[in-house]
Chain A
Amino acid sequence: MMTIRTFGAFRFLKKMCHPEPVSGSRWSRANPEEILKQVQDDNEGGGSEGSVFFSVLVALLIATTGSACAQTGSMPRDGDAQLWAGLIKSKGYVVGSKLTASGLHHFEGDSAWTHSGWNTPRIVGITYDPARPDTMYLASGNGILRTHDGGESWRLTTDWRITEVQDVSLDPRAPDHVYLASAYGVWHTEDGGETWAEANDGLLPPGNNYTQTIEVDHTQAGRVLVGTEDGVYESTDGAKSWHRVGGEGLEILDLQQSRTEPDVWIAAAYRHGLLLSNDGGRTWSPGPDAIAGNSVHGVAIDPTDASRMAAVGWGTGVVVTEDGGRTWTRHGDTLPVDNFYETVFDANDSGRLWVATLEEGVFYSDDLGRTWTSAGLYGTLVFDMVFVYPASAASL
């Protein structure tokens, strides 16, 4: 009969909640059985006998739910921005099959995430009103979902005309103005999602008006940048008209603006690496040659330091710069895969970098990618990660 000493169960819990950072070797995800065995091994020859059954039961229960981890470790603090993610538990899923809790999740600490709202395979974009963070908009497979009560209730604000939504962005200076990027171009609401109108004047015609990403300039109401199949387009009149500002011929997959230095923008391109802008997205220049042929899916700018940026994609590893894009370094070779969907810098812990791998989990690093800590979500595709700041931070 398997035996385990009482304190072993607590050590087990600790290991589950605080997996060792990994450096220089392939990351092996925290596995309850492996850790249980390790604790058993550790216990051999010492300690007092306890309730074997109870210990194992509690340990496995907590390992499964992750709830015990919420009491220790990298817990969000009061007043912190909260990390939200749109994701799908994608392994084994095809449309019509059973879907394990997917959709909007928020990070509870360590590797614990809590699902809220729809159980749906596609939540691919998240935006919110900085002055009223309980108001969020989600780009979902069924259209744009909106909540005004922090996720207690949701309304599908769009109808059958709008589908394949890829991203959504709210204008913080005109919070009833929300823009969505879809496979069929851009749509726009001026009344908080009550009505939506197409906004494709100046973009390419149907068949070629795929838009993957959209971002409102948080310093200028009505100024919006959108990533299309044919470069970055800008609108300065609330999406009434568009013109291209860079990346001609490139499919743009992500756009981000610096929170602290709004002239700094970064863009991700399909099989063309990165584009950078230091003039508010009005002109763009190519990023590092090392990943110029790669598809970059996610880009991020540190909200506390605009010279610190990161990019992830297909076969890219995690590419970071600390000098505003002059030099870039590749990290992430110790992560289980080289393919990523998304990255974001932490809003609470300066310099902490988060990455979402292709179905191998979410990880964060406090040394810009040299070592990593697992934050769960194995088997998942994370389409978007957003830190939602408390309302008190809106003026920032």
Chain B
Amino acid sequence: MFERRPTLNLLLPVLVLLVASAATPAAAQPQRPVSLDVGKLDHAFQIRRDSVIDFYQQHTDPADYTQGGYFEITANLYRGTNLDWAVARLDTLLQEPRGDMFWMYPFTTVMYTGQDVLPEATKRKMRDLWRTYQPYRGDTENHWALYYSTLYLAAQMYPDEPGDRWFTGKSSQENLAEAEEYLLSWMKLTTTRGQGEYDSPHYMRVYIAPMALLYGFAEDPAMQRRAGMMLDYLIADFAAEELHGLYGGAHSRIYEREAVLPWKAAGAARMAWLLFGNTPFDVTGESFIVAVSGYEPPPILHAIATDRSEPYAHRELKRTRHRFRHSDVKNAPVYKYTYMRPEYVLGSTQGGLLQPIQQQTWSLIWNVDDPSQSRNTLFSLHPYSSPIELGMYFAELEEFITEIVVRSKTEYDSPDKLTGGSPYEQVFQDEDALVALYDIEPSIKFPHVNAFFSADLTDQDEDASGWIFARGGDAFIAYYPLAPYTWEPVTDAWDESITHQRLVSPHLKNGAVVQLAPASAYASFDAFKTAVRALPLETSTEPVPSVRFTALNGHRLAATYGETPTIDGDAVDYDGWPLFDGPFTHAERDSGTLELRYGPMRRLLDFNTLTVKDWIETSTTTTSRSQP
């Protein structure tokens, strides 16, 4: 049976002792309150890991040979239970492979997990599918991560075979080499210029899963190490922006129903439960793959994901998906900014067409006791729909391209949609103040602005000052629309009895100012309102939308559509935007490294040297240990 691989965390017991005994932590890194008892963390993780495997194993009815997928089969093979059922059910599924790259990764999980258990006849059938089934490589970054990681592992399992034994017509060595070359290329691009399909609460799981498969099953130590480092990297990317399992801020791809009820996003919370246990239980096939891969997040990631004792600002550099039409560049930069505090997370990108279809340019998520049924979010957007946008990213005939997209992403061509980027938006943010500006061409399809106001908001009040006030949990919210608006009902995607509100403003020159504050900062909600009303605020919409605003933190924000925004008179430095920057993560652009930080603890992922270095940063001494 499968044995857990040793993790990269051999040093951590030493580190944790050092954290506990460090007499003089670095002044800028105060001692953090999260417990880093490695033994307890490991024990808790193993319990969660077992629970995920149990979930799939226990969702098996051994008398029913018509139900059960690859994950249920794998769980039984892994546990050594219901083997007759598992083999029979697998034989059935092998008769009709479907799903292309989405078939490849659960299938590969079965292949490796069951190699010591499955009958030879079944294994021969499985082998032959790599000849007779022709999975489509797809057209997104996650498709390719799945396709090439599993092609790599398949070629590894069946080495030295000629091309006529593979659907590609290439030999095992050729398939392996091509897959490896792509994976290394993708890892390099991601660790130097950022992910293209960045920070997706839905799709993050289909990056973690292929890396977990490589980590669990790659025989080449270098590939196995790279995969483990990429897991740390991807999970750190998530951990710094998650609030109790909810992926905060801006996203490349999110489905509307997940934007409205963030906990339901298919990737984030379910992965967070396994990795950190900081959100209600749920599972996904991809967290199952992590569970059987042997990967365990290092304690520093647990700390980064769960310590929300202090507010912090966090920046990331990402890139757009590859563009091939209507653009001067193949990959445009995406500047992410996220402000996290115990009560809420507010995050944004600069706006524009950064991803096709499912972009979320900015969002607020406030903390709740039980996020599993909470519509704890607020955001605005311009509902842009155009074959120009789709033509930038999809190689289809542009007259038909919108219909093709709408067949699977029904919301794309809807005026009341709640996701998507626009070339007519510009957003910037400083801590918990945000300015969104819209300068919309009159000739386009949906010339208005939408803002989502959840039914979970309380104490909503349209103030005579022009501010709309509301409470979301312990977040005090002030939203100032730049142009007149009306309210439209929005039926909840999960529960038709729930009706939200959509602020709709049909004015082409438009925008909003958002100011948040924790409830604890004010004696009352009214006191917050009074403070916000008193803030200097100048807005105009002609000739282009413009805002001058002094936020609650005293910073003077100035934004004019089409110009670089300023904070206290200084232009936002987009050119110097780092790959990661915040109290927990740091990476320079093009560096190929990522430094994780928590209190005095440090962990450096260096993809140039393929090393992981852990150390304790103190004012007087540094204790380090590298893993070659």
Contacts and interface: CB of A to CB of B under 8 A. Distances in A.
Contacts of B178: 159-160
B155 interface: no
Contact of A210 (B164, B324, B407): B324
Contacts of B143: 95
A207 interface: yes
A88 to B, nearest CB: 10
B105 to A, nearest CB: 11
Interface string A266-295: 000010000000000000000000000001
B398 A95 contact: no
Nearest to B183: A160
Interface string B105-148: 00000000000000000000000000000101111000110001
Nearest to B324: A183
Nearest to A207: B327
B169 A155 contact: yes
A209 B327 CA distance: 10
A122 B100 CA distance: 13
Interface string A149-170: 0000111100110011010000
B185 A160 contact: yes
Contacts of B102: 96
Given A97-B99, A155-B168, A120 B407 contact: no
Contacts of A339: 399-400
Interface in A303-343: 313-314, 339, 341
Interface in A115-160: 118-122, 141-143, 145, 153-156, 159-160
A143 B170 CA distance: 13
Contact of B136 (A98, A121, A164, A270): A121
B100 A314 contact: no
A359 to B, nearest CB: 10
A206 B332 CA distance: 12
A89 interface: no
A210 to B, nearest CB: 4
A90 B408 CA distance: 12
B134 A210 contact: no
Contact of B324 (A94, A154, A209): A209
Most buried by B among A99, A159, A160: A160
B169 to A, nearest CB: 3
Interface residues of A, number: 44
Nearest to A93: B407
B310 interface: no
B461 interface: no
A118 B167 CA distance: 8
A297 B400 CA distance: 11
B376 to A, nearest CB: 30
B582 interface: no
A229 interface: yes
A102 to B, nearest CB: 10
A208 interface: yes
Given A159-B178, A159-B181, A160-B144, A95 B168 contact: no
B325 interface: yes
B101 interface: yes
A50 to B, nearest CB: 37
Given A207-B327, A297-B397, A154 B169 contact: yes
Contacts of A184: 322, 324, 330
A216 interface: no
B395 interface: yes
Given A96-B99, A98-B98, A208-B325, A295 B398 contact: yes
Interface residues of B, number: 40
Interface in A165-214: 166, 182-184, 205-210
A297 B398 CA distance: 10
Nearest to B178: A159
Contacts of B341: none
B34 interface: no
**B contact face: mostly helix, strand, loop, or mixed:** loop
Contacts of A154: 169
Contact of B328 (A142, A163, A207, A341): A207
B163 interface: yes
Contact of A164 (B164, B169, B395, B397): B395
A163 B325 contact: no
A295 B169 contact: no
B170 A155 contact: yes
Contacts of B417: none
A141 B100 CA distance: 12
B182 interface: yes
Contacts of A97: 98-99
Contact of B330 (A96, A143, A166, A207): A207
B323 interface: yes
A208 B328 contact: yes
A358 interface: yes
A17 interface: no
A6 to B, nearest CB: 37
Contact of B137 (A163, A209, A210): A163
Contacts of B330: 184, 206-207
Contacts of A183: 324-325, 395
Nearest to B392: A207
A375 interface: no
A224 interface: no
B323 A207 contact: yes
Contacts of B329: 206-207
Nearest to A124: B395
A120 B136 contact: yes
A239 interface: no
A253 interface: yes
Contacts of B324: 164, 183-184, 206-210
A295 B391 CA distance: 14
A295 B401 CA distance: 13
Given A96-B99, A160-B144, A163-B137, A229 B398 contact: no
A210 B101 CA distance: 25
A95 B136 contact: yes
Nearest to A383: B397
Nearest to B102: A96
Contact of B139 (A95, A120, A206, A341): A95
A122 B136 contact: yes
Contacts of A143: 137
Contacts of A163: 137, 139
Contacts of A229: 325-326
Contacts of B181: 159-160
A160 B148 contact: yes
Given A159-B181, A207-B329, A314 B99 contact: no
Nearest to A159: B178
Contacts of A95: 100, 136, 138-139, 143, 408
A153 B164 contact: yes
A251 B167 CA distance: 34
A207 B395 CA distance: 12
Given A184-B322, A251-B398, 17 more contacts: A94-B408, A96-B99, A96-B100, A96-B101, A98-B99, A99-B100, A120-B136, A141-B137, A141-B139, A159-B178, A163-B139, A183-B325, A183-B395, A208-B327, A270-B399, A295-B398, A339-B399
29 contacts: A94-B407, A94-B408, A95-B100, A95-B408, A96-B99, A96-B101, A99-B98, A118-B167, A119-B134, A141-B138, A141-B139, A142-B137, A155-B168, A156-B170, A159-B178, A160-B144, A160-B185, A182-B395, A184-B322, A184-B324, A207-B323, A207-B324, A208-B324, A208-B325, A208-B328, A210-B324, A210-B395, A295-B399, A297-B397
Interface of B: 98-102, 134, 136-139, 143-144, 148, 163-164, 167-170, 178-179, 181-182, 185, 322-330, 395, 397-400, 407-408
